[in-house]
Amino acid sequence: MVSTLIRVAPPSEVLNEVETDKPEIELDAEALRREQMEKLARYVNDCFDEAYRHRQKDIQRFVNALYARRGEYTPDKLAAIREVGGSEEYARICAHKSRVLQAWLEDIFLANTEQPWTIEPTPLPSLPENVVESIKDQVSQRIAALTAQGQVVSPSDAERMLQDELNMEHMRQRDLAEQRAEKMAQVIADQLDEGGFREALSTFISYLTTFPGAILKGPIFRKRDQLQWENIDGKFIPQVTSKIVIQFEAPNPMNCYPAPGATTPQEGYFIEHLTLTAKDLADLIGVDGYDEAAIRTILSRCNAQGGGYRWVERYYGVHNSAEDKRDAVKSQYIDVLEFHGPVSGEDLMDWGLDADLDAQRYYEATVWLIDDIVIKATLNDDPLGRRPYYKACYEEIPGQFWGFSIYDVLSDVQGVANAAIRSLVNNMAIASGPQVAINVDRVPAGTDITNLHPWKIWQFVDGQFASSNGSPPVMFFQPHTNVQELLTVLERFYALADDFSFIPRYMTGSDKVSGPARTASGLSMLLDAANKGLKSIVNHIDTQVMTPLLQALFDHNMLYNEDESIKGDAQIVARGVASLMQLETLRMRRNEFLQITANPIDSQIVGVQGRASILREIAKGLGMDVNKVVPPTAVLGMQQAPQQVLPQAPQQVRPQAPQQVLPQAPQQVLPQAPQQVRPQAPQPSQEQLMDGRPVTDFMSPRRI
């Protein structure tokens, strides 16, 4: 007879089996979920899988850099230290260097009154064909008139006349281009201010001085409601209008996923992990490019789960322990993947994008994915297909997307300094007082040997071998202190940190300097040498972030701005490197140039307009309102026009004014003033000490 008994397992065993099979169950559910996705959602999700796995080799560097910026040990390192015991102090070398570099970069890009960029017209503006033809016709008519008067015009003379007219037209076009470029610069500066560019750039610099790379995002075009007041019959009525605004952001680099093998955000594809609230998602209903039905489906899931939808965290574990988790309001956030990259026309049409697309071609598109639902899919409207992401690193690694952070450069120095400072604290603690040794065999039972105080009376008894053993019952000895040796180690590795990071301590104003840094000229040379290394960081920001971002904003205005007076043949010039340690020197040189040219000959060469330009730059550098200090070019030209008529009035009596007594003025006593004793007084030395005080001369023969 076959047994039909059924084995009943205890609950604990059943739970263990369920926990063991849980990963396989989750994988099967994930595979089924992806199989049910539409093609576009599956494509974006597969790209994110690939980018997420590829970034795992760099994620620990991000975590280590973040902990170093905070001045904390990683959990694994802290557990190892606590297992041994002792001090848990942290040297904070990387945190200090990061703060210094951040303040230094913000001083270059944010603290100056002048913009770290400019718009300049091309050196030789191109002339339209119709303008060139018109000039040729004018020259031909002039030659014909000269020939009719009997003058002979050679081919070389005709060529010279044509070239002179073309040169004059080039100068007029360049002046016009400069005016247009100046207006365009004002428009872009206004767009940057209104779009929060300064805040985004400050956050970008903070990330750059912490992580292996930083991302600046923009220009981003979003529809926002704005409140405007309209005057209707003498009463101001509020009106809410929708307007497309330009914004700028600096996303957390830990939430950015480049394509494997890409070195810039413009290569392959680029994915940013966003976190929105339910309100943010609901506000997208009715906005062009977003699928209302898909958004409402996600909001229904959020209501079912209590307000949030963290599917990325659930499946990929993107949020690690290094970040501040918002546990209290965790359920309020929704994970969104913002995808930028090539997408096939077939997938876009299957999703429902209403556009004339070729199913076999790939188009640069922007896709927003929440779980298995695409809520947005639009084509990139940039003429060159540029994505609004720009990356820079503290130190670039050729062929890699993420470079080296300050922690990567100083990790060995930071580790040794941490070990030295922990040993220093432990040694100071153990050597802070004497150690006590007591022969417990000679102490009466119940004596409190841990209570030490002055004039304490010790009671001892003689042991069996007390007469043969001459050692005292209580001994005091002082442990050896290694403070000076450990401080020497710390000082040495602090100096190595200065060398490795190109951020010397005298850049912070520290007076703990020696050697050449003790003199003003020596310190200037050392600062210049340090700047040569740091200029590479500023150059990365100029060439890889500022220039392409501003160029994209410039192209947008050229395409869509209705003001034609700002459009012209110009180019973006980022001058962060040029402003490095040169702004103060540049102001001094401008003042010197203004004084040098203050003579009749140079004034005729420079002219009133040229001198006004110099004054504008000086006033701009001093943070003044330039238009209030120096009149605009048009107003200045109108002021000069009446003055040009005065030399043409020879019939006035004023030229007889020299017959007055004025020429006899040199006969007065005033020219004899140099004969007084005052000019022979010893002049103070022009040399100065480092604190600005003049050098006092007591010993020279001139002083005596």
Q: What is the DSSP string of 376-436?
A: EEEE--STT---SEEEE-SB--TT-SS-B-HHHHHHHHHHHHHHHHHHHHHHHHHTSS-EE
Q: Which domain holds residue 458?
A: 408-534
Instruction: Look at residue 1 and tell me if it is in a domain.
Output: no
Beta-bridge partners for 222: 245
Residues 501 and 393 in one domain: no
pLDDT at 627 over 90: no
Residue with tokens 């076999």: 360
Residues 317 and 251 in one domain: yes
User: Which of 501, 534, 567 finishes a domain?
Assistant: 534
Q: Tens of pLDDT along 363-408?
A: 999 999 998 899 999 999 898 999 999 999 999 999 999 999 999 9
Angle, helices 600-621 vs 633-643, to 10°: value is 150
Q: Tens of pLDDT along 510-529?
A: 555 554 444 545 445 555 55
CA separation for the pair 448, 457 (Å, rounded): 11
pLDDT at 235 over 80: yes
Residues 362 and 437 in one domain: no
Highest mean pLDDT of the ranges 118-122, 457-461, 481-485: 481-485
Mean pLDDT within 629-648: 59
Instruction: Look at residue 167 and tell me if it is in a domain.
Output: no
Residues 369 and 386 in one domain: yes
User: Which of 534, 567, 586 finishes a domain?
Assistant: 534
Angle, helices 547-560 vs 155-194, to 10°: value is 100
Count of CA atoms in the C-beta half-sphere (13 A) of 646: 7
Mean pLDDT within 266-275: 95
Number of domains in the chain: 2
Residues 475 and 418 in one domain: yes
Token digits of residue 442: 């000679």
pLDDT at 198 over 50: yes
Residues 301 and 387 in one domain: yes
pLDDT at 73 over 90: yes
Lowest mean pLDDT segment, chosen from 61-70, 110-119, 488-497 = 110-119
SS3 of 640-668: HHHHCCHHHCCCCCHHHHHHCCHHHHHHC
Angle, helices 93-109 vs 520-541, to 10°: value is 80
Highest mean pLDDT of the ranges 195-204, 233-242, 301-310: 195-204
User: Which of 492, 513, 534 finishes a domain?
Assistant: 534
Cβ partners under 8 Å of residue 535, min gap 6: 577, 580
Q: What is the DSSP string of 76-94?
A: HHHHHHHHH-S------HH
Distances in Å between the Cα of 518 and the Cα atoms of 293, 506, 514, 650 are 70, 10, 6, 66
pLDDT at 269 over 90: yes
Instruction: Look at residue 208 and tell me if it is in a domain.
Output: yes
Mean pLDDT within 300-311: 78
- Residue 83: its pLDDT value, please? 92
Mean pLDDT of the chain: 79
Instruction: Look at residue 348 and tell me if it is in a domain.
Output: yes
Residues 204 and 295 in one domain: yes
- Residue 327: its pLDDT value, please? 46
Mean pLDDT within 620-642: 65
The single-letter DSSP state of residue 625 is -
- Residue 126: its pLDDT value, please? 74
Residues 371 and 457 in one domain: no
Kindly indicate the confidence band of residue 489, based on its pLDDT and cuts at 50, 70 and 90. very high
- 22: exposed, middle or buried (Cβ count in 10 Å: 0-12, 13-18, 19+): exposed
Instruction: Look at residue 325 and tell me if it is in a domain.
Output: yes
Instruction: Look at residue 554 and tell me if it is in a domain.
Output: no
pTM of the model: 0.73
- 11: exposed, middle or buried (Cβ count in 10 Å: 0-12, 13-18, 19+): exposed
Token digits of residue 661: 């007594």
Residues 270 and 399 in one domain: yes
Lowest mean pLDDT segment, chosen from 158-172, 245-259, 577-591, 619-633 = 577-591
pLDDT at 674 over 50: no
Find the Cα–Cα–Cα–Cα dihedral 53, 208, 573, 190, rounded to 10°: 100
Residues 316 and 421 in one domain: no
Kindly indicate the confidence band of residue 72, based on its pLDDT and cuts at 50, 70 and 90. very high
pLDDT over 70 for what percent of the chain? 73
Instruction: Look at residue 539 and tell me if it is in a domain.
Output: no
CB of 61 closer than 8 Å to CB of 468: no
Instruction: Look at residue 527 and tell me if it is in a domain.
Output: yes
CA separation for the pair 221, 245 (Å, rounded): 6
Q: Tens of pLDDT along 417-451?
A: 999 999 999 999 998 888 888 888 888 888 888 88
CA 569, 571, 577: angle at the middle one, nearest 5? 160
Residues 209 and 342 in one domain: yes
Residues 382 and 235 in one domain: yes
- Residue 333: its pLDDT value, please? 87
